[in-house]
Amino acid sequence: MIVTRALTKRFGRITAVDGVDLNVREGDRYGLLGPNGSGKTTLVRMLLALVFATSGEIEVLGRPMPRRAREVLPQVGALVEGPGAYGHLSGRANLRLLDAAGPGGGRSGRRRRIDAALERVGLGGVDDRPVRTYSLGMRQRLGMAAALLREPRLLILDEPTNGLDPRGIREVRALLEELNAAGTTVLLCSHLLSEVEQFCTRVGVMDRGRLVLEESMAAIRAPTGRVTVRTPDADRVVALLDGRVEERDGDRLVVRAADPAELNARLVGEGLRVSEMRVRHRSLEEVVLDVTGPGADRVDREGRDRR
């Protein structure tokens, strides 16, 4: 769906995107994570031909970009850098303009397309108030509606839940799940780990312009070979498992165990009581912190000129 090779963008001395090989597959719910200033927005702007690459190659929907932008962009919905809209016009009027400007949508079906898009994002009942009176959450929804006008094969969303309250965030996630289930590939940029952890099936992590990790969520969250055991018989468990207990905190033990079922059977077989047993997974947060440095918005005394 999206493939980049050695994609690079420099702004003067700053290398915002540095030799990125990105691979978003059809049907993915791909989460692009990274600290502030790591290059996520610049990367997606290049995918959408909003800014030219310094070097490298881009394919979107199997076509080279930006050369085939005219063919590709009508099949892509995007919400990048916050929802842009004319403040003095209503949400509907904004969508009418967008729909008229975009290729491949006849006038006859316009009202229906707009109503359907507004309905999908929870703005079906919106009146004719100008957009400048909208809350940030309403603007964000309007931006999503704009991205959905063409029933895109691919959705590219930069921080789509910015400004939404918890309920709004959940609604957007449900909407994205529904669209993805119906075949839309989703590329989501976010610095919210929980958002990515809950929604995405694949993750890319950017750090200082480079893609430092690209992995399926299942692989990231694979078991670590450690099991947390809570037991009122902790002393006896430690004695029995000699050397396999890595941590102890009261009645809670962290045990090295490739096969949790075998461990459980052994403890129970010895008459040791287990009140809780949990296979340990790495969290997305641990993985991301492992592969990234501090965000570029920090201005520490050391390392100000990292680039």
Give the interface with ligand ATP as residue ranges (CB under 6 A): 11, 14, 16, 34, 36-42, 191, 296
- For ligand ATP, which is the closer residue by CB, 156 or 179? 156
Beta bridge partners of 15: 10
DSSP 8-state symbol, 82: S
DSSP SS3 for 205:
strand
Plot region of 122 (φ>0 → left; ψ -120 to 50 → alpha; else → beta): left
- For ligand ATP, which is the closer residue by CB, 13 or 112? 13
The distance of closest approach from Cβ of residue 148 to ligand ATP in the complex, given in angstroms and rounded to an integer, is 23
- For ligand ATP, which is the closer residue by CB, 51 or 179? 51
| CA 1 from centroid of its chain's CA atoms | 16
The distance of closest approach from Cβ of residue 306 to ligand ATP in the complex, given in angstroms and rounded to an integer, is 10
Q: What's the token pair of residue 49?
A: 């031909």
The distance of closest approach from Cβ of residue 295 to ligand ATP in the complex, given in angstroms and rounded to an integer, is 7
Quickly tell me which residue has 């809570």 as its tokens.
Answer: 230
- For ligand ATP, which is the closer residue by CB, 18 or 197? 18
The distance of closest approach from Cβ of residue 32 to ligand ATP in the complex, given in angstroms and rounded to an integer, is 9
- For ligand ATP, which is the closer residue by CB, 52 or 108? 52
- For ligand ATP, which is the closer residue by CB, 8 or 228? 8
The distance of closest approach from Cβ of residue 240 to ligand ATP in the complex, given in angstroms and rounded to an integer, is 50
Q: What are phi and psi of 54, to 5 degrees?
A: -75, -40
The distance of closest approach from Cβ of residue 65 to ligand ATP in the complex, given in angstroms and rounded to an integer, is 17
